[in-house]
Amino acid sequence: EERYDAELALNHEWIRCRAPKATDLGLEGDVVAKLRHFQSENKLKKAALNIIAGQLSEERISGLRSAFQALDTNGDGQLSLAELKDGLDKAGLLRSNSDLERIMEGVDADGSGHIDYTEFLAATLDRRCYLTEDVCWAAFSVFDVNGDGKISHEELGRLLGSGDIEQVVPSQHVAALLKEVDKNGDGMIDFEEFMEAMRGQHEAKPALLLN
């Protein structure tokens, strides 16, 4: 029931997040820059963004869908290394083969060798869309199964060890991730620590974005 409520809250909040129009987006530098940056994000943020991206309704992300479809030339719903290379090359955004491989490795959460639609969305979402209190609290609530306002080692391991998310953070790395995010050392992740992880270690610590 709590998880269902969290999913409803996520979808409700996403009504306020307007993705760029397809005609304005294409495969522009901003999208590629986000793909490059995603590889350096902390693992909790990667996992949370994959969860958020998997719950978005299509009409709210039409611009990103258009960018994905522009790359997915064979229409199979996933991006191969060759498709990604061809798309970046045609847009004049390909730096090197090693850069291409780093993007693929960083975004391919489930280790399939391809970037699927949810993985692409997770990497390219605008931070103005997910760095709001309602969206972050709803995502936090998916982790916080018992609703006590903190994410325990057991709760973190349970979620990260399920489905494709397990590839983002292997089960044996859960303790290390918890320690990385748990700034006050109480063995749990509270909402402020979760928010700090969502802001990213390379970002300043601003106030929560206003809805």
* Residue 25 near residue 71, CB atoms below 8 Å: no
Q: What are the boundaries of each domain within the chain?
A: 27-127, 133-199
Instruction: Render each residue's pLDDT in the chain as its tens digit; 211 residues.
Output: 444 455 555 555 544 454 443 334 456 678 889 999 998 888 889 889 988 887 776 666 777 888 899 899 999 999 999 999 999 998 888 889 999 999 999 999 888 999 999 899 999 988 877 888 888 888 899 899 999 999 999 999 888 776 555 555 666 788 889 999 999 999 999 999 999 999 875 444 444 444 4
User: Do the domains 27-127 and 133-199 sit in the same CATH topology, yes or no?
Assistant: yes
* Tens of pLDDT, residues 86-130: 999 988 888 899 999 999 999 998 889 999 998 999 999 888 778
Q: Which CATH number fits domain 133-199: 3.40.50.620, 1.25.40.10, 1.10.260.30, 1.10.238.10?
A: 1.10.238.10
Distance between CA atoms of 163 and 141, rounded to whole angstroms?
18
The pTM score is 0.73
The CA-atom distances, in angstroms, between 142 and each of 36, 83, 101, 157, 178 are: 27, 34, 31, 13, 16
Residue 43 φ/ψ, nearest 5 degrees: -70, -30
- Helix, strand, or coil here: 40? coil
CATH T-level assignment (fold) for domain 27-127: Recoverin; domain 1 (1.10.238)
Residues ≥6 apart with Cβ < 8 Å to 160: 47, 166, 168, 169, 171, 174, 177
